[in-house]
Amino acid sequence: MAEKVYIFDTTLRDGEQVPGCKLNTKEKLELALKLESLGVDILEAGFPISSPGDFESVEQIAKAITNATVCGLSRAVQKDIEVAAQALKYAKRPRIHTGIGTSDFHIKSKFNATREEILERAVQAVKWARNFTDDVEFYAEDAGRTNNEYLARVIEAVIAAGATVVNIPDTTGYCLPHQYGEKIAFLKNNVSNIDKAIISCHCHNDLGLATANSISGVINGARQIECTVNGLGERAGNTSLEEVVMVIKQHKDLGYYTNIQSQLLNPMSHDVSDIMRMPVQPNKAIVGANAFSHSSGIHQDGFLKDAQTYEIINPEEVGADGSKIVLTARSGRSALAHRLQKLGYQYNRNDIDVLYQSFLQVADRKKEVEEEDLHQLASTYKAAP
């Protein structure tokens, strides 16, 4: 039996921290409703104490969302937790996400405290949050660089205090996939009450490893992934929602599933990109403009014989426009014939051989040969004696 991996979307919180991506309440609400339709299980709506505007956004989202759990972030500070609880008052399923830095970098440089003091603050925060909701998630910020034995003590203590989800963030995107996986396995094996909580992966992408680390976390026992649409987030971003969802879907052999409606992934990506005014890189997996484009002759020929030769995902499955055969100076005869045929021109092999030479001349001049160039080629060829 496949096991469910919960998708915790933080586009509206960690994603929105990106310079230039800030959203107003109306924009956040619009995206929240779309994220709910996409099928996210938990929606982190914001950080209520951070500004009156964000408080209002979280409150409006809490009122409007019916199926997903709505989550608000707080530091391990009583006032933060109370404000988060207040903003979540109308949520059908409210979750408070509270926590504190546990690596020595955070303990010494940020808090000028000791490990024992931080452990105590973590426990008090979770206990306080439990006064407002039964669903409390604890984050151990910079867990990626936290000593495993100490991390295990903190996690055991916060679960005993009432945390139902324990988030193990690789805040700086430092871990290698096997290291992050080993960290999750260490907690599974060394925290006596770990089965009372869900372990969550929250990975940043500073080394481009956020997706790999999250999947490694799941393989080693985590059952929630925190992610953002288009991988938006602080610095190099967070784990990309579309990537982890499709890894899990493509690799059924792993034995997991998510609740995400994958055919909505591309429309969702466009909406987030438009509203957040943040373009998606063309070579982005799953949702980039080139994710289903084929431009070199060898690939085009193989793809035209059987799409699966060069595509592991059917574009319809992720709501993309379809596969594209792009014509460049690296394209071959079969791609040229295919594109001409789509425009209504039927040529035999000899015609294509001749046309191909003219095509290459155009292609060497331009980055991409477009429809009007093909019409031009065809009309010149017909006009020839």
Per-residue string for binding with ligand KIV, 11-30, x by CB under 6 A? ---x----------------
**Residue nearer to ligand KIV on the CB measure, 202 or 339:** 202
Q: How many residues of this chain interact with ligand KIV, rule: CB under 6 A?
A: 8
Beta carbon of residue 119, minimum distance to ligand KIV (angstroms, whole number): 17
Beta carbon of residue 88, minimum distance to ligand KIV (angstroms, whole number): 17
**Residue nearer to ligand KIV on the CB measure, 103 or 331:** 103
3-class DSSP string for 41-81: CEEEEECHHHCHHHHHHHHHHHHHCCCCEEEEEEECCHHHH
Buried-state track 281-318, b at ≥16 Cβ within 10 A, e below 16: eeebbbbbeebbebbebebbbbbbeeeeebbebebeeb
- Nearest-angstrom CA–CA distance, 204 and 201: 10
Beta carbon of residue 144, minimum distance to ligand KIV (angstroms, whole number): 9
Beta carbon of residue 266, minimum distance to ligand KIV (angstroms, whole number): 26
Both tokens of 208, joined, read 């481009």
Binding status of residue 9 toward Zn ion by CB under 5 A? no
Given Zn ion, ligand KIV, none, residue 48, with its beta carbon under 5 to 8 Å by kind, binds none
Could you say which of 28, 202, 294, 299 contacts ligand KIV (CB under 6 A)? Answer: 202
What are residue 69's DSSP bridge partners?
42
Binding status of residue 169 toward ligand KIV by CB under 6 A? yes
Binding status of residue 137 toward ligand KIV by CB under 6 A? no
Beta carbon of residue 45, minimum distance to ligand KIV (angstroms, whole number): 14
Helix or strand or coil: residue 321? coil
Could you say which of 171, 216, 220, 331 contacts ligand KIV (CB under 6 A)? Answer: 171
Collect all residues with Cβ–Cβ distance below 8 Å to 341 and sequence separation of at least 6: none
Interaction site with ligand KIV (CB under 6 A): 14, 139, 141, 167, 169, 171, 202, 204
